Structure 1
Amino acid sequence: MLEEKVLQTIKKFDMLSFNDRVLIGISGGPDSVTLLNVLLSFKKRYNLSFFIAHLDHMLRGKESDEDVNFVKNLAQELGLPCEVKSYNLTKIARKEHLTLEETARKYRYKFYLETAKKFNTNKIALGHNADDQVETVLMRFLRGSGLEGLMGIPPVRGKIIRPLIECSRAEIEEYCKENKIGYRVDSSNKEVVYFRNKIRLELLPLLSKGYNKNIKDTMLRLRSIISEVSAYLNQETELLFKEVARRESPEMVIIDLKKFTSLPLALKRRIIRKSIEVIKGNLHSISFRHNNEILKLTEYQLGEKEIYLPDNLRAKKIYNKIMIYKKRISKDQTEEIPTPWEYDILIPGETEIKSLGIKVEIIILDSADIKSSLYFTRKKPKGKFLEFIDYNKVKPPLKLRNRRSGDKFYPLKMKGLKKVKDFFIDNKIPKSYRDLIPILVDNEDQIIWIMGMRLDDRVKIKSDTKKALCVKTKIKNAFLQGYF
């Protein structure tokens, strides 16, 4: 019995729970009316509440109007709330530069989610069947999809459930015949102008007749195997992503190439996809070619290199890191910062430089306070730094600036004078970031501290220090945080 088969699918994928409120998408065709009737048979079992939704695509004139009336009458006969909405998909598709199929899918799901919210339903039941699954897998194969695409239509995705996904179209039509259930026939399903219809009406019959009479079962078995493999790889990717990548901000992910390069290629690709999805929210417009470009970028050996991705994304190789981020971060954090820059710093007091995402607080300590204060670690949580400076070895007022040509200083715990340029190179600071690094200097332009990196040896605290400056710094700039 079809009801028993559907019940097993519901249990297998945990589709329904007691007291669920279910919105059922009804087109009027055999799949959706069968879905409605089968779910009604489970009403008492799960104590379900039902609501009906119908979207008029306005594509078939009088036929579309008759579909609307059919669904409205069906809802009225059953005493179920019904929401009907019309979209001129032809006009929308032209305006949004989408295919008619893409437009129909986009606005259909938009309508279902809006209606689910209106009726406060926690499930949306749709009538996709096993034949739809086969057609989808074949379509995606022909379009060059990866494993995720070849998984086909998910039985459950969020609040969307598909109870008929393991039932064939023939079983559904037989169910309607046995139970004398009336339904509408969409005449456009016989038109081979649509890709899916070509698959259904031409390719599948050809494959079944000339190559494999069990092609549908073969495709479903392939989909099942791919789903199992993909689920395992997704699990591995989630674990590895935490080890080799970190999310610096909502719009930037940094991949550690030291850990990334030793991974198998399949997992490298998935780490890249995961990074993009974390930033972008989806993988729309991201193709196999883009993935390949980022992989090539990871192997680039000469300094820095950046590539452009769809939807204002960028991928940048800097030494042993790959940064994937949105373009506007780069603009806000680097391109709009003037070069050179310089700001006066209050002593004592707090100075905030919003354009740089830096806040500096300076406190003056006497000899009695210095010893107890030195118990604090100089490096605080990410983006926060604490340093102590001998007050009598600097000449106020102090300034915060970026590097200048010819800058030199005496790095703490190092011998002799060193060029700031060489210091940055030794510490693998990307060339494009060097003008962002804040440098604290005194009135004679003597370097006191390259913030977050190294104090000048000449201003360090000693046993005979009588007066000190306690400098607390907070750096919000996401680009810089990755290097401190």
Structure 2
Amino acid sequence: MLAGVSGGPDSTALLSVLASLASDLGFSLYACHVDHGIRPAGEREADLAAVRALCAGLGVPLDVRAIPDGMCEREAREGGRSLEEVARRRRLALLVEAADAAGAGFIALGHTRDDHRETVLMRTLQGAGPRGLAGIALRRGRFVRPLLGASRAEVMAHLAAEGLSARTDASNADTRFLRNRVRLLLLPALRRAVPGWGTALSELSRGMARVAQFLDEEAARLPWKRCGTGWRIDRRAFFTAHPALRVHALLHLADRVPRGSQPARLSHRFLEPALGADPGPGSRYLIRGHGLALRSDHADLFWGPDIVSPSEKGYLFPVPSFGTLNIEGTGASAAFRLGLNPRPGETAIPVREVVPPLVLRSRRKGDRIEGPSGSATLKSLCGAWGVPRVLAGLVPVLVDRRGVLAVLGTAVGGRTATRSDGPLAGEECLLVRVTGGAKERRA
């Protein structure tokens, strides 16, 4: 098991408890500390020093991961998303990488009962549905939360009993963040005005969790079929289902669709068009935004990434920070992850070179790449690589806000070219690996 440890009270208590249980329960324990690159350098260094001392005292191996300074803030600003959400997604992605490196099957997080209740209250204020009102799950995939039944007061009592100290994050007092506004401004008033509010909110979340589970089971009965990177369903089958089931199915499948490195949480208002009557045959967009589209195509509906420039050969997909995209028409796929050390066959692009958002698209007339050795057209590169003309239009091109970032020619029997002259030692990179494709089919 790998524990995410920030150095704060909750994660410090989490690691302490897990370390005391590891031998008796027979599991290996690892820790990972993620530096988000947001707070002042001095505070972050003190956090890391505290975590190192804690892990050394408990005899737990520590893996340290870092997000480049300013990256979370830049992505939040350019993507119109909250800094909290961007940092959370980046952190979880790095924890998954660390767990994979350690061979850990589970990732433990330090959320408490107080965090759970705050989350349910936040989701209520944001107009969430059953999934959001279910709050924080005890387990979701590889992520587990052993302290979810404990209060924040019980965590502090454990630290005092064990003689452990913890770091205090000054940003927890910053009311720019919704969770802090709820914790510091709303909850004190709620405690005074509504005694027992916490118990009532916990009961609400348990009820909503049961509703969400029921909707998950019913949504699985709808005849969705995988279609590229999205999903297809008979239009009449979709619109004869209950409206609540339609929305829940779209939310459920959206989590499995690649739509950019930091996808926004979808609101029920955004999905309202799915609640209406069957629009009948024809080709039209019913929902479009957040990198997603619900498109009517005569007898079928397609729910998946919003392909901005569809054509007979063309494609364009938002790139996830980690995950795999199938490259249409080539028989290849591109896997993306963030990391420090490229594996064999991976192309390493320094994160400092990337200006989000990122898309993977087919080659276009006039495309050029400004590489370390000068400028070249993609057409000339394909010729130099010996890519057949019939496949040249399908060459996957990785593009950011500044232009062509990389040409993934291995998908069609060529090579790879990037805008960068390569990463520095220990530098975080976007790592891309292309598998399958024309070259392998001819072999």
Shared fold by TM > 0.5?
Answer: yes
Retained in 1: the 8 A contact 2:259–2:305? no
Q: Report SS of the residue matched to 1:288.
A: coil
**Superposition pairs of residues 72-471 of structure 1, within 5 angstroms:** 72-97=52-77, 98-210=81-193, 212-239=194-221, 241-242=222-223, 245-247=224-226, 249-274=227-252, 276-277=254-255, 279-280=257-258, 284=264, 286-296=266-276, 298-301=277-280, 303-307=282-286, 309-310=288-289, 313-326=292-305, 328=307, 331-333=310-312
Retained in 1: the 8 A contact 2:271–2:287? no
Q: Distance in 2 between matches of 1:141 and 1:133?
A: 12
Q: What amino acid sits opposite 1:102 in the alignment? A: E
**Cα drift, residue 156 of structure 1:** 1.0
Q: Report SS of the residue matched to 1:49.
A: coil
Q: What amino acid sits opposite 1:77 in the alignment? A: G
**Cα drift, residue 318 of structure 1:** 4.8
Q: What amino acid sits opposite 2:196 in the alignment? A: N
Q: What amino acid sits opposite 1:217 in the alignment? A: T
| C-alpha distance 104-319 of structure 1, shift in aligned 2 (>3 A) | closer
**Cα drift, residue 201 of structure 1:** 1.1
Retained in 2: the 8 A contact 1:30–1:184? yes
Retained in 1: the 8 A contact 2:235–2:296? no
| C-alpha distance 76-271 of structure 1, shift in aligned 2 (>3 A) | closer
The unaligned stretches of length 5 or more in structure 1 are 1-21, 337-353, 356-484
Residue equivalent to 1:27: 6
Q: Distance in 2 between matches of 1:73 and 1:47?
A: 24
Among 47, 65, 83, which residue is 2:26 paired with? Answer: 47
Q: Report SS of the residue matched to 1:254.
A: strand
| C-alpha distance 101-316 of structure 1, shift in aligned 2 (>3 A) | closer
Q: Report SS of the residue matched to 2:285.
A: strand
Q: What amino acid sits opposite 2:90 in the alignment? A: Y
Question: Normalised by the size of structure 1, how large is the TM-score?
Answer: 0.58
Q: Distance in 1 between matches of 2:177 and 2:153?
A: 22
Retained in 1: the 8 A contact 2:259–2:291? no
Q: Distance in 2 between matches of 1:174 and 1:224?
A: 27
**Cα drift, residue 116 of structure 1:** 1.2
| C-alpha distance 56-257 of structure 1, shift in aligned 2 (>3 A) | closer
Among 52, 58, 66, which residue is 2:46 paired with? Answer: 66
Question: Normalised by the size of structure 2, how large is the TM-score?
Answer: 0.63
**Cα drift, residue 170 of structure 1:** 0.8
Q: What amino acid sits opposite 2:288 in the alignment? A: L
| C-alpha distance 259-41 of structure 1, shift in aligned 2 (>3 A) | same
Retained in 2: the 8 A contact 1:135–1:200? yes
Q: What amino acid sits opposite 1:226 in the alignment? A: M
| C-alpha distance 291-208 of structure 1, shift in aligned 2 (>3 A) | same
**Cα drift, residue 86 of structure 1:** 3.4
**Cα drift, residue 132 of structure 1:** 0.6
The unaligned stretches of length 5 or more in structure 2 are 316-327, 330-443
Q: Distance in 1 between matches of 2:7 and 2:305?
A: 44
**Cα drift, residue 61 of structure 1:** 3.8
Show CA shifts across 1:187-214 (max 9, x none).
332332322111111101101101x121
| C-alpha distance 199-274 of structure 1, shift in aligned 2 (>3 A) | closer
Retained in 1: the 8 A contact 2:283–2:298? yes
Retained in 1: the 8 A contact 2:128–2:267? no
**Cα drift, residue 88 of structure 1:** 4.7
Deviates further, 53-62 or 190-199 = 53-62
**Cα drift, residue 127 of structure 1:** 0.7
Q: Report SS of the residue matched to 1:163.
A: coil
Retained in 2: the 8 A contact 1:251–1:329? no
Residue equivalent to 1:57: 36
Higher Cα Rg, which structure: 1
Q: Distance in 2 between matches of 1:62 and 1:288?
A: 42
**Cα drift, residue 89 of structure 1:** 5.0
Q: Distance in 2 between matches of 1:304 and 1:190?
A: 50
Q: Distance in 2 between matches of 1:250 and 1:116?
A: 29
Q: Report SS of the residue matched to 1:167.
A: coil
**Cα drift, residue 131 of structure 1:** 0.4
Show CA shifts across 1:387-442 (max 9, x none).
xxxxxxxxxxxxxxxxxxxxxxxxxxxxxxxxxxxxxxxxxxxxxxxxxxxxxxxx
Q: What amino acid sits opposite 1:289 in the alignment? A: R
| C-alpha distance 294-333 of structure 1, shift in aligned 2 (>3 A) | farther
| C-alpha distance 156-100 of structure 1, shift in aligned 2 (>3 A) | same
Residue equivalent to 1:11: none
Q: Distance in 2 between matches of 1:137 and 1:65?
A: 33
Q: Distance in 2 between matches of 1:170 and 1:73?
A: 24
Number of equivalences: 312
| C-alpha distance 49-103 of structure 1, shift in aligned 2 (>3 A) | same
**Cα drift, residue 312 of structure 1:** 5.2
Show CA shifts across 1:18-75 (max 9, x none).
xxxx111111222112111211221232112111211233404433222211111122
Q: What amino acid sits opposite 1:294 in the alignment? A: A
Retained in 2: the 8 A contact 1:89–1:100? no
Q: Distance in 1 between matches of 2:48 and 2:314?
A: 55
